[in-house]
Amino acid sequence: MSDASVRLRFWGVRGSTPTPQVENLTFGGNTSCVEIRTAANDCIIFDAGSGIRNLGQSLMKEAAGQPVNVKLFLTHFHWDHIQGLPFFIPIYGPKNHISFYTGIQGRPLQETLEGQMAKPYFPVDFDQVAARRDFNTIDPGKHVDASGMKIIPFPLNHPQNASGYRIEAPGAVIVYATDYEHGHPTLDSTLREYAQGADLLICDSQYTPAEYEKHKGWGHSTWLNAVHVARDAKVKQLFLFHHDPTHDDQQMMRITEDARMQFENTTAAWEGFAAVL
């Protein structure tokens, strides 16, 4: 591992709702959560789906009583991307510091996150958790510098809006583009622009092309469109992401095979997968 290496791990890859079923054990049933570690071992998290619960436990064990400091970037606020936050154990530690970020303009970020833990939805109010927290909205055209990485949000076509992120690290570029639907010419071009030349593209591919015909307007895309984006943007590796809750392991394997016939360097993301870039 070089001094400039970046590590990535998937903690949740499922879309819409968790699917804790035996037939999904290979790819996993937790909803969206991706961890990136910088060369300095700083932790950057993308989305707080149900997968963030296991990540939180891992971080606390690793810290062994020392403070946990993380930056958490949210693509949007649909339930499957924030539902793990109340169970992310670092938010309850008084020595810990969690910085929240979003690229979505409008309603204040803190107010938005407080809503899901307000009575009667959760027994602990978000404003009562012990960790130090700050809330940041990234203005259009701006970026965040995080431990030697440049994190740039860009808009995606999704109901009530969503942001993708281009993560530029020394020697590697990762693009996280979950929860978008193709068919919006301007935003389709925007995605290709920000994905250009990426080493790794994590891309919404919830539906098969046949399924998509019945789900137009739902805010998600197909594995075939993900392949088109990867080819057009000349990315090195494509990870299919945000798997439909009805797709079991066998169907995910078939989807992966179909996608690889179109773009060889394709993998369907699965929980626990880790890579060094």
Question: By three-state DSSP, how is residue 28 classified?
Answer: coil
Residue 120, preceding peptide bond in cis (omega within 30° of 0)? yes
* Whether pLDDT at 2 is above 60: no
Binning pLDDT at 50, 70 and 90, where does residue 225 land? Answer: very high
Residues 95-146: tens digit of each pLDDT: 999 999 999 998 899 999 999 999 999 999 998 999 999 999 999 899 999 9
Residue with tokens 């993301």: 269
Residues 22-64: tens digit of each pLDDT: 999 999 999 999 999 998 899 999 999 999 999 999 999 999 9
**Residue 146 vs residues 71, 120, 263: alpha-carbon distances, Å:** 8, 36, 32
Binning pLDDT at 50, 70 and 90, where does residue 210 land? Answer: very high
pTM equals 0.97
Tally Cβ neighbours within 10 Å of residue 105.
12
**Residue 96 vs residues 106, 131, 179, 236, 253: alpha-carbon distances, Å:** 28, 5, 30, 36, 40
Percent of the chain whose predicted confidence (pLDDT) is above 90 = 93
How confident is the model at residue 147, as a pLDDT?
Answer: 86
* Whether pLDDT at 20 is above 90: yes
CATH numbers and ranges of domains, the chain:
7-276 (3.60.15.10)
How confident is the model at residue 39, as a pLDDT?
Answer: 87
Nearest CA-CA partner of 72 in 144, 22, 141:
144
Contact 164, 154 (CB under 8 A): yes
Residues 138-180: tens digit of each pLDDT: 998 999 999 889 999 999 999 999 999 999 998 899 999 999 9
Q: Where are the alpha helices (DSSP H) in the chain?
A: 52-63, 109-116, 185-195, 209-212, 223-232, 249-262
Q: What is the DSSP letter of 266?
A: E
d(CA 213, CA 81): 25
